[in-house]
Amino acid sequence: MVWAGVMPVFSQDSETRLSSDAEIDRRFQLRRDWILRTAVSNLDEADASRGSVLDVAAALQRGENRKAALARLARLNEAVPTQNMFWMYPMAAVMAAGGPALDDASWKRIAELWRTYWPSRGDTENHWVMYYGGLYLAAQTWKESGPERWFNGRSAQENRDEARSYLEHWMRVTTSFGQGEYDSPGYIGEYVVPLALLAGWCDDPLLRQKSRMMLDYLAYDYVIEHLSGQYAGAHSRVYPRQLLQPARTTAAALGWLLFGLGDRQMSQQALLLAMSGYTPPPILERIARTPDRPYVERELKRTRWRMRQAGSESFVVGDKRTAPVYKYSYVDKDFVLGSSQGGLLQPIQQQTWSLRWRVDQPLDASNTFFGLHPYSSPHEGTMYFPMSWDTTTDTIVRSKVDYDSPDKLAGGSPYEQVFQHGAALIALYDLPPGTRFPHITALFSRDLRNTVEDPSGWIFSQGGPVYIAYRPLVPGEWRPNDWTGLLAGGAGGFISSGFKEWGTGHRCYVSTAPRNGYVVQVAPVRDFASYEAFQTAVRSRPLATATNPELEVSYTCLDGSRLHARYGQAPSVNGTAIDRAHWPLFESPYGVADRGSQRLELRYGIERYVLDFQRAVIEHSFVRP
């Protein structure tokens, strides 16, 4: 039997759960209030150079520090804007959240900027969502205005119609086939901010409801793969600092606000979410804090829209071509090992797989281990960008300076195939002659301890409560992680900012064999009597590797499963090939969604929380055991 809406009191457990809802909300409101008060305190009536646009919005919304807020806004709005959609959403927040407290001079200047400044729409999924979220809220403010009031010569109604069309298209594609910029520890915030704007202040009830539902959707996508607030697993886009200091990210700041995960920290995205009035459903915190680990999470995402070299697995959505991304994460209470299948799934900043382990003080920890082929080629650039073969790499490097460096730590490769089962992973690489950077890299972070190079070929190490075994098919050599000195020398601009604090002390195991790969086996310390016992167990497992004539690995992992991977073929577990044709959009004990369904069902015990985007309906119910 299923009940909709308020849970009936039919047992002591149900009464406890109702109380728990109230306690979860109470804690959230305390965290929300801290963020808002901190933002207001950033403004100083005696110093108009302090504070952000969103600090101004928070002060005006709360009716506090108004004089300082207006002075700071006037200073910020003196010059012609330059930040495109990153200007649009904060200004829309000032108008929506702080509008009644704005003075005439502020309104006049804001209106003039929307008339004269033409913000770029950008070229990424997050750019477009921010652009149209900000544009919708701005056009809503002057909903009867004609084309003479707008930078693009369109009326407010035309701007709203275009914005709504794109936003609903993006929601439909995301809930059917997954995000293109999926599971990014930084860029998750660039989706949260436009959705928070719409969920908080959109005057259309349907779009407002869908935006609130999308916030629930993104929050679940994060918590199901988090570890102490860190976004774990495979990522579409990640910067060097986020790779090496994974708790200092936008995702971690949002995780603290929403669920109290990890360390308290501030971010502009968390501030706007706090202002919006959005409150996460309690089931999300229950899932985030579940003691019932380990579990396996499978997800289906998609690549960015592909312009060329789309590949045999690609498919068309509307008039655009993309390809599936098959994600797999093993989520334990002490670690998360997560991966995608490899390949060029996202330009420039892809992380194909990663391991995170639990630490007591995560904020400045480098609790991570991962590997990659540092691929760089115009093939990748022209696959995703409307540029010529001769100029695309140079254009990319202007903003992502580490892209064309042999010691970079993020990126996909067309010559990479990755396969994971539980806490074991196999990666194979077949680098053809002429490959720009013909080596593979495994990052051993500075937080790893007791690293042992065993005569068997296994390299053992320990990260806090986790033992790690790494077995390269062909031996390599140790190098410092920044062996070119590119980031240490400051060449990366904002990308290398603070490198001395987060980027030093790590090292890489680098192998230059063109046909190569590795096996990774992870296990919690709690499962073994000693480190030596773990090493003995791994060495005793059957392992067969070959690089010629076939690139191939057979390995029996610690849970007894027989894994087999041959380059160019489907991998198998216990003789059964992995069937990715029916990979779910989401699948774990806590959430399920089918490809194309636009429907996500969250589960925790007897509780069910369904996001149905086709009907724009949230169904909350409880199922009697």
Residue 576, beta-bridge partner list: 573
* Residue for token pair 């697993």: 233
* pLDDT attached to residue 492: 81
Confidence of residue 183 (pLDDT cuts 50, 70, 90): very high
- Asked if residue 443 is part of any domain, the answer here is no
The single-letter DSSP state of residue 448 is: -
Where does a domain end: 229, 256, 286?
286
The mean per-residue pLDDT over the stretch 544-553 comes to: 96
Confidence of residue 554 (pLDDT cuts 50, 70, 90): very high
Tell me which residue of 608, 597, 599, 582 sits closest to 217, measured CA to CA.
Answer: 599
**What percentage of the chain has pLDDT greater than the value 90?**
95
* Residue for token pair 């075994």: 469
pLDDT in tens, 44-66: 999 999 999 999 999 999 999 99
Separation of alpha carbons 480 and 490, rounded Å: 16
- Asked if residue 521 is part of any domain, the answer here is no
Where does a domain end: 242, 268, 286?
286
Separation of alpha carbons 588 and 299, rounded Å: 9
The mean per-residue pLDDT over the stretch 80-97 comes to: 97
Tell me which residue of 464, 445, 256 sits closest to 357, measured CA to CA.
Answer: 464
Confidence of residue 514 (pLDDT cuts 50, 70, 90): very high
The mean per-residue pLDDT over the stretch 264-283 comes to: 97
Separation of alpha carbons 89 and 94, rounded Å: 9
Confidence of residue 624 (pLDDT cuts 50, 70, 90): confident
For residue 609, the enclosing domain spans 591-623
Where does a domain end: 243, 270, 286?
286
**Residues 50 and 72 sit within 8 Å (Cβ to Cβ):** yes
- Asked if residue 547 is part of any domain, the answer here is no
The mean per-residue pLDDT over the stretch 96-101 comes to: 95
Query: Quick check: 14 pLDDT over 70?
Result: no
Total-model pTM: 0.95
* pLDDT attached to residue 340: 98
HSE-CB at 41 with a 13 A cutoff on CA atoms is 7
* pLDDT attached to residue 493: 84
pLDDT in tens, 578-619: 999 999 999 999 999 999 999 999 999 999 999 999 999 999
Q: Which residues contact 350 (CB under 8 A, 6 or more apart)?
A: 235, 236, 237, 238, 344, 410, 411, 412
Q: What is the mean pLDDT of the chain?
A: 95
Query: Quick check: 12 pLDDT over 80?
Result: no
Q: Any idea what the CATH number is for the domain that residue 166 is in? A: 1.50.10
User: What sections of 338-429 are H helices per DSSP?
Assistant: 378-384, 392-399
Tell me which residue of 347, 394, 343 sits closest to 373, measured CA to CA.
Answer: 343
> CB-based burial of residue 30 (10 Å sphere; 0-12 exposed, 13-18 middle, 19+ buried)?
exposed
- Asked if residue 44 is part of any domain, the answer here is yes
- Asked if residue 302 is part of any domain, the answer here is no
* pLDDT attached to residue 2: 34
How many Cβ atoms sit within 10 Å of the Cβ of residue 266?
15
- Asked if residue 515 is part of any domain, the answer here is no
pLDDT in tens, 116-161: 999 999 989 999 999 999 999 999 999 999 999 999 999 999 999 9
pLDDT in tens, 356-386: 999 999 999 999 999 999 999 999 999 999 9
* pLDDT attached to residue 6: 35
Confidence of residue 69 (pLDDT cuts 50, 70, 90): very high
- Asked if residue 100 is part of any domain, the answer here is yes
* pLDDT attached to residue 614: 97
Confidence of residue 494 (pLDDT cuts 50, 70, 90): confident
* pLDDT attached to residue 10: 29
> Which pair of tokens denotes residue 344?
């060029």
Q: 615: part of which helix (H) or strand (E)?
A: none
Domain count, the chain: 2
- Asked if residue 599 is part of any domain, the answer here is yes
